[in-house]
Structure 1
Amino acid sequence: MREFINLTLGGVITGAVYAAFALALVLIWRSTRIVNFAQGAMAAITTFIALSLIESGQSYWVGLAVALLAGLVLGAVVERLVIRPVEGGPELNAVIVTLGLFIAIQALISVLFGVNQRAFVAPFSTIGFRVGDSSLALSPNTLFTLGAVLLVMVGLTALFRYTRVGLAMRASAFGQEVARLLGVRVGRMLTLGWALAAVVGSLAGMLIAAEVTFVTPTYMDALIVFGFVAAVLGGLDSPVGAVVGGLLLGLLLSYVRGYVGDELVGLAALAVLVVVLLVRPGGLFSTTQTRRA
């Protein structure tokens, strides 16, 4: 029973990490209809910028603020200079560009910050709470991670459902010509979508770094895969789905790792992706209108 409780708590924690990255993918998809495979590398470089500040004596919160600001600028610059030339063309072009961008940014991280492991200190204690003689796989830092993910989910849901900016972003993503006729400045909305997605990605990078405690230029690689599966599982058009998908995937992989073996975790994630694409391609929280769009 103790093992099951710890596996469940570990799955929730890991799922929250997947959900944090999935939220960034959902935001970029809802605002531009592009799956950004460079999101992990963009998050990693802003995390390394924050880590450099922290190592120089600044607080974690200063590093976090700078990482979010760097993500905002990076997202806007990437959309303007790299994505804008291929927007409106075949969808595969944008996907290939983001893959190339992923490789380029990861190489840039290695050049600027080196390839060695670097310790990342979490903002709160990572020691699990104790219940009697047992230590739970739940700590103050994981509560911070869960709270941050839920806050972002609520914020994104409110943005797209209840604000004119969110409606304009969605209109720009679904039909640029119609949106322009309605007075929407499509170019600005696409840039804003990339900028906000990069901010969420930067937050995810900081949260993930605090959980894994050591970072390298490639520390986000596995999270890219699992975060994408979580986003597809919940629905690429749903912030709530991204969180639920992340938590469900985290629980499943935790049980597989604990009861079957670590070597089957990747296969289990692949099985989830295949089943979802075959049974419910739009994800658990999709709607008929969303799938047809």
Structure 2
Amino acid sequence: MQQLLTTLLSGLTLGMVYAAFALALVMIWRSTRVVNFAQAPMAMVTTYVALTLINNGVSYWVAFVAALLSGFVLGAVVERFIVRWVEGKSEVNAVILTLGLFIVLHALAALVFGSSFQSFPAPFGLQGFRVGDTTIALTGFGVFQIVAVVIVMLALLALFIKTDIGLRMRAAALNPEVARLLGVRVGGMLTLGWALAAVVGSLSGLLIAGGSLVHPSYMDSVVVYGFVAAVLGGLDSPHGAVVSGVSLGIVLQVVNGYVSPALMPMAGLLILVLVLLVRPGGLFSRTATRKV
């Protein structure tokens, strides 16, 4: 029973890590209709910004805010000066561009910050809570991860459903020509979408890095499972990304603990294939099928 509880709680915190990254992908998709494969190295760069400040004596929370702000600026700059050159053209162009940006940011980070492993602090404890004589596999930082991801999910839902800005962002992404006719500044909305998505991505980078080691490729292992979680939930669904991320994390931890760690990638692929065979748009997709 103790092993099962430990496995489930470990899966919960791991799933929240996947959900955090999936939320960044959902944000960029809903606001620009682009799958940003460079989301991970963009988050990695902002995490190094925070680490540099912390190593120079700045408090964790000041560095935390600075990383989010740098993510906002980085996202806006990438959209305005790089992605905008391929907007309005084939969607494949944007995908290829973000893959190229993935490689470039990795190389630049290695040159600027170095390739060595560096310890990143956590704002809360990394030891499990004690209940009587038992230590459960849920840490103070794990609770922070859960709360942060839930808050971001609710904020994204409120942005796209309750606010005029969210409506304008979706209109600019879905039909820019009509949106322009209705007075929407499409370019500004796309820039804002990239900037806000980069903020969410920066948060995911900080949550993943807390209490562990960072290096230019530290988020690469999360990219695959985060992308799987986003697709499983439906790229249009923030709550789908969180539910799918948590579910994926728990399933993978069960496979890790009771079957074999080597089968975790296979399990993730199998889940993705099975779900997409049943619901190609994702579990929480609201896309309606047109009937002739």
TM-score with structure 1 setting the length: 0.97
2:250 is matched with which residue? 251
Within 5 Å, which residues of 2 pair with 1:1-293?
1-211=1-211, 213-289=212-288
Question: In the aligned structure 1, how far is the partner of 2:271 from the partner of 2:32?
Answer: 26
Question: In the aligned structure 1, how far is the partner of 2:104 from the partner of 2:266?
Answer: 28
Contact 1:125 1:141 in 2 (8 A): yes
C-alpha displacement at 1:43, in angstroms?
0.1
C-alpha displacement at 1:253, in angstroms?
0.3
- 1:11-33 alpha-carbon deviations (Å, 9 max, x no partner): 00000000000000000000011
Contact 1:19 1:243 in 2 (8 A): yes
C-alpha displacement at 1:290, in angstroms?
9.0
Question: In the aligned structure 1, how far is the partner of 2:38 from the partner of 2:90?
Answer: 18
1:230/1:290 Cα in 2 relative to 1: closer, same or farther (>3 Å)?
farther
C-alpha displacement at 1:79, in angstroms?
0.2
C-alpha displacement at 1:254, in angstroms?
0.6
- Counterpart of 2:21, as a letter, is F
Question: In the aligned structure 2, how far is the partner of 1:15 from the partner of 1:290?
Answer: 31
| SS of match in other structure, 1:137 | strand
- 1:223-265 alpha-carbon deviations (Å, 9 max, x no partner): 1111000001111000000100100100110100000011010
| SS of match in other structure, 2:128 | coil
Contact 1:282 1:291 in 2 (8 A): no
- 1:117-175 alpha-carbon deviations (Å, 9 max, x no partner): 00011010011001222211101111111000000000000000010000000001110
- Counterpart of 1:162, as a letter, is K
Which has the larger displacement, 281-290 or 216-225?
281-290
The alignment's C-alpha RMSD in Å is 1.3
Unaligned runs of 5+ in 2: none
Question: In the aligned structure 1, how far is the partner of 2:176 from the partner of 2:226?
Answer: 28
Question: In the aligned structure 2, how far is the partner of 1:272 from the partner of 1:48?
Answer: 33
| SS of match in other structure, 1:267 | helix
Contact 1:22 1:246 in 2 (8 A): yes
1:272/1:291 Cα in 2 relative to 1: closer, same or farther (>3 Å)?
farther
Which has the larger displacement, 223-232 or 129-138?
129-138
1:228/1:174 Cα in 2 relative to 1: closer, same or farther (>3 Å)?
same
Contact 1:237 1:290 in 2 (8 A): no
- 1:35-76 alpha-carbon deviations (Å, 9 max, x no partner): 000000000000011001101111110111110010000000
1:191/1:11 Cα in 2 relative to 1: closer, same or farther (>3 Å)?
same
C-alpha displacement at 1:288, in angstroms?
2.7
Aligned pair count? 291
Hey, which bits of structure 1, 4+ residues long, moved more than 2 A? 288-292
- 1:165-198 alpha-carbon deviations (Å, 9 max, x no partner): 0000000111000111111100000000000000
- Counterpart of 1:288, as a letter, is T
| SS of match in other structure, 1:121 | coil
Q: Percent identity?
A: 61
Unaligned runs of 5+ in 1: none
Question: In the aligned structure 1, how far is the partner of 2:222 from the partner of 2:30?
Answer: 20
- Counterpart of 2:111, as a letter, is V
Question: In the aligned structure 2, how far is the partner of 1:40 from the partner of 1:65?
Answer: 18
